[in-house]
Amino acid sequence: MIGKMSAETTDWNNVQNHIRKYLDISPQSLHTDITTLSENIAMNLPIYPDLIVEENDAIYFIGIKSKATVDIIAKLNLLRDFCLKNTFPKKIQLVIAAKSFPVREKLLMDQLDITMVKLPWSIKLTTEKQSKPSNHRITSAKSWKIVSRLLKEKKTSIRQLAILEDISYGWAHKTIQALIQQNIVKKENNRVSISNADKLLNGIAWERPLNKLKSCEIQIPFSESMDAAREITRAFSMQHNIPVGFTSYTAAALYTGYGVRNDAVYYIWMMSI
């Protein structure tokens, strides 16, 4: 029996097939009937798994996320404890299917006997946070005058920023609103100030044109960018005199666990002449 819970994906069939193949579950043992755990345990907590798969005497509680977190590990473990206290009739196996597994979470999963299923980066999960960058560029000439002035003034009004930089109030207001939406600037009454300098620097970096930084492009026979990144790491690790690091979209994907570009790997290296 297979039950689809809270996590919907645009590639739901692909996710199911990938998990089923990894767990070696026969397609013939799965049915489309959807049941809930409330039939077996009395529980009012919202900690149901994203997917339930039953085969023979085993039941799999599966969490499906873009990135494995302590939160999903704790919820699944709590669910298992509830079931065991209620003399659950089947053997319980916890599973987390995700694209990214941080080291800390891997250690926790090993200690709690939770199976790790690595999802392909190409699968799209609707549970992933979609970044919605503003169309208003903060690094344009006029916008940057407003940002620079705000950094100098620390705390002031939008009107004062416009006057000091000889920029129209409408443009100054639009710039500040874009920064507020990104949680870079905060507004108190009629005065604004920078609330997160790190996010401001990140925003500047993301708007930097990458084409001007490109040195060369090499075609390599990989279907997944993360596989290519790992192979590049192994190759350069054998060349002790060539420092290398990942940058741009690849660095962002490695840091956040969200796939930004699946068709390219961005890296930098330094060669002594």
How far from 84 is each of 2, 36, 41, 44, 66, CA to CA, in Å? 20, 16, 10, 16, 28
CATH number reported for the structural domain that contains residue 99 in this entry: 3.40.1350
CATH number at residue 172: 1.10.10.10
Q: Are residues 36 and 105 in the same domain?
A: yes
Share of the chain above pLDDT 70, in %: 65
Token pair for residue 246?
């990942």
* Whether 216 and 203 share a structural domain: no
Is residue 127 assigned to a domain? no
Of 273 and 26, the one with more pLDDT: 26
- 5 and 48 Cβ atoms separated by less than 8 Å: yes
**What does the alpha-carbon distance between residue 5 and residue 21 come to, in Å, rounded to a whole number?**
20
Residue 155 within a domain: yes
Reference 114, options 98, 102, 90, 96; nearest CA is 96
Task: Choose one of 84, 118, 152: the last residue of a domain.
Answer: 118
Its pTM stands at: 0.46
79-130 confidence digits (pLDDT tens)? 888 888 777 777 889 999 998 888 889 999 999 999 999 988 777 776 444 4
pLDDT digits (tens, 9 = 90+) for 59-85: 888 899 888 888 899 989 988 888 887
Strand, coil or helix: 71: helix
Whether residues 16 and 93 share a domain: the answer is: yes
Lowest mean pLDDT among 92-106, 183-197, 246-260: 246-260
User: Domain of 237?
Assistant: 211-269
User: Do the domain assignments include residue 46?
Assistant: yes
Q: Do 52 and 89 reside in the same domain of the chain?
A: yes
Residue 262 lies in a domain: yes
99 shares a domain with 10: yes
| Number of domains making up the chain | 3
Domain presence at residue 124: no
